[in-house]
């Protein structure tokens, strides 16, 4: 029984590490993207309904998720 609880604890730990890594990675990536495109306010364009900008931001977040998941996979 102890082995199962340890496995659950390890799984929960990896899930926590993955969530925190993903959150920090998204925040850092979006800030860097905003800094690299100073002349364009992406969030205002998304609010105005600019679908291509929304697709670019979504693809950046998805690709970051793939990188983070590959980095923390045991």
Predicted TM-score (pTM) above 0.75: no
Measured CA to CA, the distance from residue 24 to residue 21 in angstroms comes to 5
Q: What is the mean pLDDT of residues 6-26?
A: 88
Which helix (DSSP H) or strand (DSSP E) does residue 57 occupy?
A: helix 51-72
pLDDT of 61 strictly over 70: yes
Where are the domains positioned within the chain?
2-72
pLDDT band at 74 (very low <50, low <70, confident <90, very high): low
Measured CA to CA, the distance from residue 51 to residue 60 in angstroms comes to 14
8: left (phi over 0), alpha (psi -120 to 50) or beta: alpha
Instruction: Give pLDDT tens digits for 18-49.
Output: 888 888 888 898 888 888 888 888 889 999 99
């Amino acid at each position: 029984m102890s082995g199962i609880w340890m496995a659950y604890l390890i799984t929960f730990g990896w899930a926590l590490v993955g969530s925190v890594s993903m959150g920090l990675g998204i925040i850092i990536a979006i800030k860097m993207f905003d800094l690299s495109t100073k002349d364009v306010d992406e969030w205002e364009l998304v609010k105005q309904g600019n679908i291509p900008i929304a697709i670019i931001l979504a693809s950046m977040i998805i690709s970051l998720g793939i990188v983070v998941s590959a980095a923390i996979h045991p």
